[in-house]
Amino acid sequence: MQIGLFHQMWATPNIEDREFFAQMIADVQLAETLGFESCSFGEHHFRRMSM
So what's the pLDDT on residue 17?
Answer: 87
Phi and psi at 41, nearest 5°, equal: -130, 150
Average pLDDT score over the chain: 85
pTM, two decimals, is: 0.72
SS (H, E, C) 1-51: CCCEEEECCEECCCCCHHHHHHHHHHHHHHHHHCCCCEEEECCCCCEECCC
So what's the pLDDT on residue 25?
Answer: 94
User: Would the pLDDT of 33 be above 60?
Assistant: yes
- Reference 41, options 15, 4, 2; nearest CA is 4
User: Would the pLDDT of 49 be above 80?
Assistant: no
